[in-house]
Structure 1
Amino acid sequence: MFREPLPVGFWHQGALGDFVLFTPVLDAFQEMFPHVPLFLWTMPAYKDLLYGKPYRDGLASCDEPFWRSLFVDDIWASIPVPNPLLQCQAFFWVGQKRALPIVDRLKKRLARPVYWLRSFPDEQTDVDVSVTEFLVHQMASLGFTVPKHRPKLAADPHVVKDVVAWLGRQNLPSRGYGVVHMGSGGIGKVWPTSRWRSLFQVTSGFFGAPMVLLMGPADKRLMPYVDAFSTTWGWPVYESGDLKKLTALLSGAGFYLGVDSGVSHVAAAMAVPSLVIFGRSNPAVWAPQGNHVHIYLDSWTPQDVFGEGKDCAGKVSAHLLQCLHKVMGI
């Protein structure tokens, strides 16, 4: 199908978890066509997730002037097409239906096939399949049957050394510690802080395991609670928005606990035994992938997150503890 070693391009502007669930498509495509270079236009920060991937050096920003111009009626037809895009023998735009007019404009600018992949299913009308499987099915319907993969990420060993040095300063081992990330880009996905507190109390701080509390750029509202838990249990807080450092920290983790977030997808893709708490989102579609991932379903409202709702009381079920025991290996 792609006999010449001319590049194939992909465009993806999704959030972190969406992107992690998309990477198996790139991995499978590269496996099928190892001599075909891949150009990937996405969020520049995602390059830090792709250590060891052959297509890492082909990543560029999805916010370049040409891409922005496609959304502007007066200039989309005249702005010069970037040279890397001109080299592509085919192009895949990964997005939702609202992007179809933009895809049509791109087809008019490029003298080569342009395909649209819907980035994730509509939970009201589509079947309950994972985002990755949904993308693979679409590739097959377009005539590109690629093998099914799960997300798989690796850490940069040079950055791992820096994280190990930080762990040593916290009197923590270089491997086998637990990582807790309470936050998410959507505040309604955050498990109520009272329930986190109850879990920590019931388990006596994860049964005495060495722990790290992880904080990202989207977690500022949780900082007072994280600080309080850090003081109570003596757990250090690792603050970073750097994805290289995130993968480095997770590469040595013995287990991970989080919610429906991009970080949870990264942990799963790093093969860390994980317990991920879901509320309103459909785990059949959005759950991190892997047999080492355990999903715990709970129910709460956004008002419950910070103790302002009617159902924010701490709850630690036997099933939750069973899931925790599995990921901790006890």
Structure 2
Amino acid sequence: MKLARLAGPTPVRDKILAIFPGALGDFICFLPTLDKLTRDGEIDLFTRTEYGDLLPASVRMRSLECYEISRLFVSGVEEEEKLKRFFAPYSRVYSWMGSGQPDFVRNLTLLSNGKLKVFPFRPSVSRIHITDYFLSCLGAGSSDEITPHIPIRADALAWSGRLWQQSDLERKSVLVFSPGSGAREKNWPPDFYATVAEWWEKKSAGKNLAVLGPVEEERDKISGRGDRVLALRGLELGRVAAVISRCDLYLGNDSGVTHLAAAIGAKTVALFGPTDSVQWAPRGKRVTVITRNVECSPCLSPVMKSCLHHKCLTALSPDYVIGRLEELLG
């Protein structure tokens, strides 16, 4: 007679808290580190709420703008019962916030019973890729093969399908570009993007989509091109990802949206001027970085903001970029 095997108790997984304050590009570069943490335990993540569209279902997200985080910057709160109850269940706490804030570090160390590891948000060695830096905080090795990956949500993909139908984009070659970034100094001139849009339309009878942020200059100069460019504003990140996933080519600056395009596996061209592609280039098998490598690039932020010529970007002429795109597209 065959005896049934009794199942043993389900192993209890560690409950881990991670605190990550970065902008979109930082967050996407952090995803491989987050993936490593999810293999070690159950993850609660304090971050920006708009990133919820990009997180795996296994990660519970909480907003950074909450009582539990804001109180950590105040002296002498380690005895607050509400905070003690909140942090008590976590067996490990990792924070990329507050490394230079003594009150934050002291409070969180005491509230986590010494189970805290806090890291500088930026590496002390400048020319290390930011993805590798975040992984190194966990003692993990680096590799160009370690790339962020973001799946497309089914509801966002369905929405983008309806957009394609309504906008007569089906069976058309589609170029998506995002002309903004977190710093105006990193942006390729809007008129240059408009020239590429004209080339794309003539080359393949294709269509152009622009994913626009809050920078008014880009809105005026690019969306003002009439029927040549369909401008999409104010989309949640899940829908941005779905739109880009349907395109034939994505073109953008050193920006969070460009990292998003790479992470969903789109054919991505990233334009780099004053920032360091060694540290910040999006990773992926379908990513091409275009830069002129002028003698003064990369430069530090104060220099970047006061630069009078911006030749690292203006030397990336539309003709030069179009030539590279033609090579890429064969």
TM-score, shorter chain, exceeding 0.5: yes
Residue 150 of structure 1 is matched in structure 2 by 147
Deviations 1:125-171 (A, max 9, x none): x152211111112211xxx6799731100111122111211121111
- Deviation of the 1:275 alpha carbon: 0.7
Match of 1:16 among 13, 21, 24: 24
Residue 212 of structure 1 is matched in structure 2 by 209
In the alignment, structure 2 segments of 5+ residues that lack a partner are: 1-10, 298-303
Aligned mates of 2:233, 2:45 — CA distance in 1: 28
> Residues 196-211 of structure 1: matches in 2 within 5 Å?
196-201=193-198, 207-211=204-208
Identity of aligned residues (%): 18
- Alignment of 1:166 with 2:163, yes or no, is yes
Residue 139 of structure 1 is matched in structure 2 by 138
SS at match of 1:87: coil
- Alignment of 1:222 with 2:218, yes or no, is yes
Residue 301 of structure 2 is matched in structure 1 by none
SS at match of 1:134: helix
Match of 2:238 among 228, 237, 244: 244
SS at match of 2:152: coil
Distance 1:180 1:29, change over 3 A: same
SS at match of 2:74: coil
Distance 1:42 1:175, change over 3 A: farther
- Deviation of the 1:109 alpha carbon: 1.7
- Alignment of 1:283 with 2:277, yes or no, is yes
SS at match of 2:176: strand
Match of 1:191 among 188, 212, 219: 188
Aligned mates of 1:160, 1:54 — CA distance in 2: 17
Tell me the amino acid that sits aligned with residue 114 of structure 1.
L
Distance 1:160 1:54, change over 3 A: closer
SS at match of 2:22: coil
**8 Å contact 1:90–1:113 — kept in the other structure?**
yes
- Deviation of the 1:173 alpha carbon: 1.6
**8 Å contact 2:201–2:228 — kept in the other structure?**
no
- Alignment of 1:271 with 2:265, yes or no, is yes
SS at match of 2:113: coil
TM normalised by structure 1 equals: 0.82
Q: Which fold has the larger relative contact order, with Cα–Cα distance below 8 Å and residues 6 or more apart in sequence?
A: 1
Tell me the amino acid that sits aligned with residue 320 of structure 1.
V
> Residues 114-133 of structure 1: matches in 2 within 5 Å?
114-122=116-124, 126-133=125-132
- Deviation of the 1:316 alpha carbon: 2.7
Aligned mates of 2:102, 2:277 — CA distance in 1: 27
**8 Å contact 2:93–2:112 — kept in the other structure?**
no
Residue 44 of structure 1 is matched in structure 2 by 49
- Deviation of the 1:102 alpha carbon: 1.5
In the alignment, structure 1 segments of 5+ residues that lack a partner are: none
Distance 1:310 1:252, change over 3 A: closer
Tell me the amino acid that sits aligned with residue 194 of structure 2.
R
Aligned mates of 2:85, 2:255 — CA distance in 1: 35
Residue 65 of structure 2 is matched in structure 1 by 63
**8 Å contact 1:46–1:243 — kept in the other structure?**
yes
SS at match of 2:250: strand
Deviations 1:64-94 (A, max 9, x none): 1011011123646536227553211001001
Aligned mates of 2:135, 2:314 — CA distance in 1: 41
Higher alpha-carbon Rg: 2
Aligned mates of 1:45, 1:268 — CA distance in 2: 19
TM normalised by structure 2 equals: 0.82
**8 Å contact 2:29–2:130 — kept in the other structure?**
yes
SS at match of 2:274: coil
Distance 1:97 1:252, change over 3 A: same
Moved more, 110-119 or 149-158: 110-119
Tell me the amino acid that sits aligned with residue 273 of structure 2.
G
Aligned mates of 2:306, 2:220 — CA distance in 1: 17
Aligned mates of 2:196, 2:154 — CA distance in 1: 33
**8 Å contact 2:178–2:252 — kept in the other structure?**
yes
Aligned mates of 1:75, 1:262 — CA distance in 2: 35
**8 Å contact 1:179–1:253 — kept in the other structure?**
yes
Provide the aligned length of Structure 1 versus Structure 2.
309
- Deviation of the 1:54 alpha carbon: 4.0
Aligned mates of 1:208, 1:314 — CA distance in 2: 28
Aligned mates of 2:102, 2:150 — CA distance in 1: 30
